[in-house]
Structure 1
Amino acid sequence: MMRCEAEMSAVMSLGNYALKDEIREYWTKRAETFDQSPGQFIKPGAEHDAWAAMLRRHMGDDARQVLELAFGTGEVTAILLGLGCEVTGLDLTEAMLSRARAKHAGKPGLRLFLGDAEDTREANNRYDAVVSRHLVWTLVDPAAAFRDWFRVLKPGGRVVIMDGDYVRLSRIGRLRLALSDWLSARQGATGPAVDRAAHEAIQQQVYFRDGLRPARLRGMLEEAGFTDFRQEKPSGPHAAQRKGAPLRQKLRVGVWNSFVLSCAKPG
């Protein structure tokens, strides 16, 4: 029995590595045009300020040492630096790392590295906050990730997750996306190229393949030892994204069940 369990574990580990290679390849291809994707680039002004206020609410006023996971091109990184945080960032892809480093070249209080969000290899009890945006839905082994985030946080430190359910869509949501696509085609407004087949193939293999739901996420975080949960919708950033945007873009804002969920390591 023990041998069978060990063999099963080895097979699962190999599968995880293969899936992470797929994820790395997908985001490498997306890196060049990622800031053109809806909801990725954070506009200066009202949207930036709304995200900053939300992050401060969830991290707390005293958060200084922050671990940012899957920083992408460094949009949230800029907000964290603006809040006076010292940021260590990990991302799985060299292409994203290069773009983020170029975007933030010469800025103090920032270290960006290649790394795995499920196995950060950072020191115990080091950070005041662990922050991620659009990461958790892609995790292969979220339980391992949450245990690791708990480990690297100082007692009293907080995890802040900005994410959503990008699988399940309401009937109204489907209609909004269809109308947005129709308007885009009619107006000749094409967005950045996305390999939808690769995206769907990854989505069908990750842990949250049936959708990232806040209640389920909270349960897993509680199992990892977290307490003091706070949750809200990103209403402020969404309102700022809609302001002045063409109808085809307004229709896409908030179409998925997006949320911000944070919790604390007791201490």
Structure 2
Amino acid sequence: MRGQNWTIKDEIRDYWSARAETFDLSPGHEIFGDDERGAWHTLIEKHLGPGSGRKALDLASGTGVISRLLCERGYSVTGLDFSEPMLERARAKAKARSLDARYVMGDAESTLLPDEAYDVMMTRHLVWTLPNPAAAFADWFRVLKPGGKILIVDADMTARNLRSLLLRRAAAFFKRFGPPAATHGVDRERHNRILSKVHFSDGARAEDIASLLRDAGFRDIVIDRDFAPIRRAQGRHMPLHQRIDRASQDRYAIQASKPVQQTARPAGEARRAA
């Protein structure tokens, strides 16, 4: 039985650990074609630039999908995750492909990594799971070198406008007649229970994430919603209703920079980020 010390983070870690074995089977997790790989490379180059041996941190690295993309663009990568089964798979894949990547266990909200250790950082589908994103962003700001950049890839899956509502209804209609989307170990009840307890339980709006990043000290924040090439490439491996449903979601990348010259933040702002 779970004791009183069982936390939402324990729940999140165990949920993703249980999914590690089948994680790479799902479109949107692993990459299944050169068209999608090329689209991800373009996104990384656009916001982080070429690697040229610079140090990159892949936060919540999972099985190492983003780590591989960063390595392919010339970065020296450290992947951080707090699921040992995920880390085991990431290490095995990196070894098999001779990638310049190493993996460490850690909490993405409190990495315990050295100050100003990385030139760039990247996350994919992490922020929506964070119980305390303000604490996480403050820690990421600390770990990033002055002038360094972070790239957050995430999605708001809540239908907030007429277009999204209509697409979601269309997806539900076509789901009745088409083949089901493969779940690959998704425990929907457990997923929803976790979602109800995290900070962005009502949806991870890009503008809300940008505001928290600004509070943590990040500047030059850009929200990029040009995900059509990635969505089209992933859609080739999905049934129609799943493609329509994903089109109803607000998928985005957020780029932010740590200033080269830092100014002291007001005490109240520092407390909000703690």
TM-score of the aligned structures, taking structure 2 as reference length: 0.85
In the alignment, is the contact (CA less than 8 A) between 1:70 and 1:91 conserved in 2?
Answer: yes
Residue in structure 2 matched with residue 251 of structure 1 by the alignment: 244
Structure 2: runs of 5 or more not aligned = 261-274
1:37 CA displacement? 2.4
Residue in structure 2 matched with residue 31 of structure 1 by the alignment: 20
1:38 CA displacement? 3.5
1:41 CA displacement? 1.6
Aligned with 2:61 (options 71, 86, 108): 71
Aligned with 2:149 (options 158, 161, 165): 158
1:244 CA displacement? 6.9
1:124 CA displacement? 0.9
In the alignment, is the contact (CA less than 8 A) between 2:26 and 2:182 conserved in 1?
Answer: no
In the alignment, is the contact (CA less than 8 A) between 2:116 and 2:145 conserved in 1?
Answer: yes
- Structure 1 residues 118, 46: CA separation in 2 closer, same or farther (over 3 Å shift)? same
Cα-Cα RMSD: 2.2
- Structure 1 residues 18, 38: CA separation in 2 closer, same or farther (over 3 Å shift)? same
- Structure 1 residues 188, 208: CA separation in 2 closer, same or farther (over 3 Å shift)? closer
1:216 CA displacement? 0.9
Aligned with 2:120 (options 119, 129, 135): 129
Q: Across the two proteins, how many residue pairs are aligned to each other?
A: 252
Q: Within 2, Cα distance between the matches of 1:206 and 1:162?
A: 18
Q: Secondary structure at the match of 2:7?
A: helix
Q: Which amino acid aligns with 2:253?
A: V
In the alignment, is the contact (CA less than 8 A) between 2:168 and 2:245 conserved in 1?
Answer: no
Q: Secondary structure at the match of 1:105?
A: helix
Q: Which amino acid aligns with 2:34?
A: G
Aligned with 1:215 (options 196, 202, 207): 207
Q: Percent identity?
A: 41
**Cα displacement string for residues 62-101 of structure 1 (whole angstroms, at most 9, x for unaligned residues):** 5721011111111111111100100001012111111111
Structure 1: runs of 5 or more not aligned = 1-13
The range that moved more, 237-246 or 63-72, is 237-246
Residue in structure 2 matched with residue 4 of structure 1 by the alignment: none
1:236 CA displacement? 1.7
In the alignment, is the contact (CA less than 8 A) between 1:70 and 1:89 conserved in 2?
Answer: yes
In the alignment, is the contact (CA less than 8 A) between 2:47 and 2:151 conserved in 1?
Answer: yes
TM-score of the aligned structures, taking structure 1 as reference length: 0.87
